Amino acid sequence: MGLDTSPDSPIQVEKASNLMRDWIRRLGSIWVEGQIAQLRVRRSYVWITLRDTDADVSIPLGCSRSEIESADGGITEGQRVVVYLKPDYSMRRGDIQWRASDFRPVGLGELLARIERLKKLLAAEGIFAEERKRPLPFLPRRIGLVCGRASAAQHDVEVNARLRWPGALFEVREVPVQGPSAVAQVIAAITDLDQTPEVDVIVVTRGGGSVEDLLPFSNEALVRAVAACATPIVSAIGHEDDVPLLDLVADLRASTPTDAGKRIVPSLKEETAKVADLRERAHTALETRVRTERRHLTSLTSRPAMSRPGALVDRERASLRLTAERGRRSLRSRVVSQNEKMAVLLARPALAHPELAIARRADLLAGLRDRCARAFSGQWQATVVDLQHQTARLQSLSPLATLDRGYSVVESNGVILRDSSEVALGSKLRIRLSRGQLGAVTTSVRQ
């Protein structure tokens, strides 16, 4: 405030209070949303406690009775309102007070619109996606239960679960399930159970109520806390028609607390019946298999090989002996035949006196070589004489022989000239001699 004071020159309480009041009154007015937790009417003045809807925080405020009565539909305890507040300073008590000058009840339509906007936001983030939901355990070791204190919802869940599975164990966390402290305490209970290793599934439940009563279970902080849990969550809030946002993020939505109790554990009666049925089916299958194998064994043992196994051995032994005897006879016959062939070959002169046979073969080879040489020489001389005759005939018919006698061949543009009229003056000529060629130009033409 910038006052120059000291122990020797203090200011009066009234002046200090006036300065404080003037400073606070310079603060602007604000709109605040909350829930009417307490409302006390004192003649023409009303004292109100306005509580935060999500946190355990409240502020006292005052207003004239006419402000309450002029609000649409009136103002009652538990109602959600938006209030126009301005801070003020009490000179008499020396405290700061909030003065309310306008009350606007938050209607059901506005609350539902806010929930719908939050629902779209969270859905866009994928928090409600089906692929994020986890299956419940078949038989949880311990069931976490978040519920109101001594509530009917707790009784419904526990009774129905134990009717199906008498040995079901619960880890219960009793917390406020409506009001300003509900959100924080429900989140704390869920977090605590999620960190308990023995808890395999968590059920969050409460009975039915108005939309305002169920607002904590559509709170954004609570929805995000459930989405972050590692333990599967079952939502059993209100009646079947109530669908808070907790139902959408939970891994399983139960229509009622009773339905939740039936769905979190298996039925002992049903499972016992299944075991009995499986045992009966297994017994039947085993008997059928034994009968089948016994028939198969009987069929096998009735065969000759099994009824008289020695007969098969005897038959194979006889077959083996017969094969061996045939082999011995065939071998003896082959040896005799080969010996006879060898005797015939040894009886031949060539084999008896091999040196004479070699000498005769050498003389025969020398004679053949001499005859071949004479025949080749005669054929060669005849071919040479014939080639000479053919060469002479070719030379006599060849135009080159004519050129050798002094003649030549004249061409113009590749054409052999036979008449002087075929060429013009200045034409280029090519003259072919017996040996070589000449180039010429026509200087004169005579017929």
Which is nearest to 134 in space by CA: 223, 230, 199, 224?
A: 230
> Could you give the CA distance from residue 182 to residue 186 in angstroms, rounded to a whole number?
6
For residue 166, what are its two tokens? 């008498």
| Pair 185, 216: CB distance under 8 Å | no
Letter string b/e over residues 410-441, b meaning 16 or more CB atoms within 10 A of that residue's CB: bebeeeebeeeeebeeeeeeeeeeeeeeeeee
> Could you give the CA distance from residue 142 to residue 394 in angstroms, rounded to a whole number?
126
Phi-psi region of 439 (alpha: psi -120 to 50; beta: other; left: phi over 0): beta
> Could you give the CA distance from residue 228 to residue 249 in angstroms, rounded to a whole number?
10
| Pair 157, 261: CB distance under 8 Å | yes
pLDDT under 50: residue ranges of the chain: none
**How do residues 364-379 score in pLDDT, each as one tens digit?**
888 888 888 888 888 8
pLDDT recorded at residue 351: 60
Report which residue type is found at 73. G
For residue 382, what are its two tokens? 């005849």
pTM over 0.75: no
Residue 80 to residues 103, 219, 274, Cα–Cα distance (Å): 10, 15, 53
pLDDT recorded at residue 329: 87
**How do residues 331-341 score in pLDDT, each as one tens digit?**
888 888 888 88
Letter string b/e over residues 340-354, b meaning 16 or more CB atoms within 10 A of that residue's CB: eeeeeeeeeeeeeee
3-class state of residue 51 by DSSP: strand
**Dihedral sign of CA atoms 244, 248, 250, 254 in order:** positive
